[in-house]
Amino acid sequence: MDARYNPRSLEHRGLDTEAFKRSFLEGLVYTVGKDTRAATRRDWFTTSAFGVRDRLVDRWMETTRNYYKADAKRVYYLSLEFLIGRLMTNSLANLGVMQAVGDALDGLGLRLGDIVDMEPDAALGNGGLGRLAACFLDSMATLGLPGYGYGIRYEFGLFEQRFEHGWQVEHPEHWLQFGNPWEFPRPEILYPVQFYGRVEETRDSMGERAYKWIDTERVLAMAFDTPVVGYGGKTINTLRLWSARATSDFHFGHFNDGDYMKAVEQKILSENLSRVLYPNDATDAGRELRFKQEYFFTSASLQDILRRYSQHHSGFDLLPEKAAIQLNDTHPAIGIAELMRLLVDKHALQWEHAWDITQRTFSYTNHTLLPEALEAWPVRLVERVLPRHMQIIYEINGRFLQKVQARKSDAATLSKVSLIDENGDRRVRMGNLAFIGSHKVNGVSGLHTELMKQTVFADLHTEFPERINNKTNGITPRRWLHQSNKPLSDLITSRIGSGWIRNLEELEALKPRAEDEVFREEFRRAKRQNKKRLAALIGRELNVEVSVDSMFDVQVKRIHEYKRQLLNVLQTIALYNDMRDSQTVNWVPVTKIFAGKAAPSYHMAKLTLKLINDVAKVVNQDPSVRGLLKIALLPNYNVTLAEIIMPAADLSEQISTAGMEASGTGNMKLALNGALTIGTLDGANVEIRDAVGPENIFIFGLTAEEAGALRHGNAYNPRDVIAANPPLKRALDMIASGVFSPDDPHRYRPLIQALTDGGDSFLVTADFQAYREAHEAVADLYRNPDQWTRKAVINTASMGWFSSDRTIAEYASEIWNVEPVLPEE
């Protein structure tokens, strides 16, 4: 008899409507502990999620067994952020049981949509970087790659954003409050992580130096596993998130003194490590707790990786053939020093040997060139929190600089490639550590990778010309089209079949349909349906009435000066003035839709949000614009909201200062859903233009090269630019004189000053005219629905290459050297 046979589990595994209904009812009673009379919607969500989860477990364990059997090389994706969103629809769609579960709930007098809405949005990330990690998990599972995600199980995800009197107010996001039915706690998978203490140098029996890290404070990392269902449900991978637990011996000293309460306080403090996600985007917090979080999850993950490897291998020579560790930005870069510590101090490998293994195991993805966002931890902090790692970093650096020096002795190069920044207070350059400790370093779009070679890593690139490579980001078509845009998804499938869900390049077959009048009509109808849903949401949330006939002009992303929401606001005000001035022009009605969070300490970004709300208040109720212009700033942008906005967009705003957006992925989601892009030649916009063709996208403004020259030269005077552009001057004067803030006329002085005295670092004024003209071209096209829809269809049909399946396939063959392990049929 099969040792795994369990008659009870069988009735939990049927995939038909009746089987789901039975298990939901049973789960309600025996897992949730309610009867049908007392059950709330949340209870029904919980029981449904458990019912669906039951269907995953067998194939999940089978996937793991297959990996062991094949002794497969695994990919470990280390990321401080996973911006996952909800999992119910994702699990149902990837398992192919959406209909059965919908019908089962229907039979119980419930609606799937209502149940899905009870799920909290798992926001364990800030923005693009975290969402990329989530898309990659989906793609690895769909491609059958043995991929594990490793991160932190934050008790509080990214804050919940509300607007009070137009200002952003942050509220804690307690997403675990009602439990998380998708996760499996693993109290037995527990690793100690050490901090502080000191290093003792000793001699081993052979007289060699050895180092002991002693008198440390210890915290335990406990695993929580979430199954990651690939499309089709064949491969189910694991996302393992670590939660901090106090060690049982933690308070021993205090107990001896009889100070019980103090012991408990210490326990609570040590568990703060996994309490909250740092709400920064692109800028660094520079806080000790953050540094400790980075080491906490990296150390636990490495211990777990070595444990898994060592179950079936002795020694560590094969580690690079059995494990590929990808560093998602520098947040886990301390892992390079940690693996060296484990190999040298714990397992007594020779330094050179350990270094060779380390370099061949790690690879690193760079996500930003913004200097303020490059992690550099003060040496004094690293020394205090991780004294042994600091020594190891010095040793890595010493050996590395010696090699560089052997080739050239130029001191300027040495100081630039060094792991230590000696300017001011000494800091450890985590980017350089990640670079030197990896065999591959990648950027996330063609332009970004080229700029990496020319700027941050110019000297390291000269030292290692083969190391930098490009992996343009992608998005999963499962979540970002198949699940979130049913009208368009069904339309596409009706014409070309459903192969595109796995192989997005099949969308190419839609291109001829751009000339098919019936198809265009149906394409418009799908868009209209999605716009209705968003319009209803805007009505509910903001009490603003918007017309589905207006052009939905969408800018949704984190609020940041380089993303230039301010440029959009200025164009909006100029359009507002035009519409009031010229009552006889046949204006295209426009709804400007914004959403995005500002880091709580980022004052300019928060002021920008307030400005959008202030302008909206004036514009939305001004009878002289005759309803032609509406502005909606939706609160609390997250994955769930994005899934409603993306399908409803006509126009996608991707207007960052050229050279500053590493890739962007919002640009891809919107174009895939048939929005036309208005954008600068930045990040992946460049590749989107190449894919859809320059005639199907609105590119404007300075190039990265021109922007760089302007920013670094001294010929640029924003005041002259403003003076020469009356609509721009008028818009700025209105803001500066309090037209939108009569209660506080000087409220926006910092924004105005940044554009004038401040030198306009993000070139808002420099790009304003080109942006305005691009918007005029957009409006002209929108007046012709047939021409517009042709281009929209071509956009959707051309986005196949931007599937994260393509990105992951490139990582797999060019960086990781891993192959799929497909289940036996």
669 is catalytic: yes
Which of these is catalytic: 245, 669, 747, 791?
Answer: 669
Closest CA to 238 of 77, 364, 391, 37: 77
Nearer to ligand PLP, 128 or 233 (CB): 128
User: Is 688 one of the binding residues for ligand PLP (CB under 6 A)?
Assistant: no
Nearer to ligand PLP, 158 or 812 (CB): 158
Q: Judge contact between 67 and 200, C-beta under 8 A.
A: no
User: Is 327 one of the binding residues for ligand PLP (CB under 6 A)?
Assistant: no
Q: Judge contact between 138 and 228, C-beta under 8 A.
A: yes
User: Is 127 one of the binding residues for ligand PLP (CB under 6 A)?
Assistant: yes
Residue from 56, 639, 764, 818 touching ligand PLP (CB under 6 A): that is 639
| Sequential DSSP letters for 204-244 | -TTS-EEEEEES-EEEEEEEEEEEEEPTTSS-EEEEEEEEE
Backbone angles phi, psi at 589, to 5 degrees: -65, 135
Contact residues for 624 (Cβ-Cβ < 8 A; gap 6+): 580
Kindly calculate the radius of gyration of the chain based on its CA atoms and give it in whole angstroms: 27
Residue with tokens 């609606």: 111
420 is written with which tokens? 């230590």
Residue from 23, 293, 620, 638 touching ligand PLP (CB under 6 A): that is 638
Closest CA to 20 of 89, 111, 101: 101
Nearer to ligand PLP, 418 or 796 (CB): 796
Element holding 148 (H helix, E strand): strand 147-152
Residue with tokens 């506080």: 744
- Smallest gap from residue 536 Cβ to ligand PLP (A): 20
- Smallest gap from residue 781 Cβ to ligand PLP (A): 22
Stretch that binds ligand PLP, among 110-118, 123-131, 287-295, 297-305 (CB under 6 A): 123-131
- Using DSSP's 3-state secondary structure scheme, residue 475 falls into strand
Nearer to ligand PLP, 155 or 661 (CB): 661
Question: Which position's Cβ is nearest ligand PLP?
Answer: 666
- Smallest gap from residue 157 Cβ to ligand PLP (A): 12
Which amino acid is it at 144? G
User: Is 665 one of the binding residues for ligand PLP (CB under 6 A)?
Assistant: yes
Residue 825 Cα distances to 141, 533, 822, angstroms: 17, 41, 9
- Smallest gap from residue 642 Cβ to ligand PLP (A): 4
Nearer to ligand PLP, 92 or 668 (CB): 668
Nearer to ligand PLP, 251 or 557 (CB): 557
Which amino acid is it at 625? V
- Using DSSP's 3-state secondary structure scheme, residue 352 falls into helix
Stretch that binds ligand PLP, among 110-118, 191-199, 219-227, 638-646 (CB under 6 A): 638-646
- Smallest gap from residue 664 Cβ to ligand PLP (A): 4
User: Is 128 one of the binding residues for ligand PLP (CB under 6 A)?
Assistant: yes
Nearer to ligand PLP, 589 or 664 (CB): 664
CA atoms of 778 and 568, how far apart (whole Å): 14
Sign for the CA dihedral angle at 247, 252, 254, 255 comes to positive
- Smallest gap from residue 568 Cβ to ligand PLP (A): 13
User: Is 120 one of the binding residues for ligand PLP (CB under 6 A)?
Assistant: no
Residue with tokens 């909606």: 632
Residue 570's CB is within 10 A of a number of other CB atoms, namely: 25
- Smallest gap from residue 93 Cβ to ligand PLP (A): 17
CA atoms of 335 and 362, how far apart (whole Å): 9
In a 10 Å sphere around its CB, with 0-12 CB exposed, 13-18 middle and 19+ buried, how is residue 636 labelled? buried
- Using DSSP's 3-state secondary structure scheme, residue 685 falls into helix
Stretch that binds ligand PLP, among 144-152, 433-441, 567-575, 635-643 (CB under 6 A): 635-643
Q: Binding to ligand PLP (CB under 6 A): which residues in 645-664?
A: 664
290 is catalytic: no
Residue from 56, 507, 554, 642 touching ligand PLP (CB under 6 A): that is 642
Q: Binding to ligand PLP (CB under 6 A): which residues in 503-532?
A: none
Q: Binding to ligand PLP (CB under 6 A): which residues in 454-493?
A: none
Nearer to ligand PLP, 292 or 367 (CB): 367
Residues that bind ligand PLP (CB under 6 A): 83, 127-128, 131, 557-558, 637-639, 642, 664-666, 669
Catalytic positions are 367, 557-558, 563, 665, 669
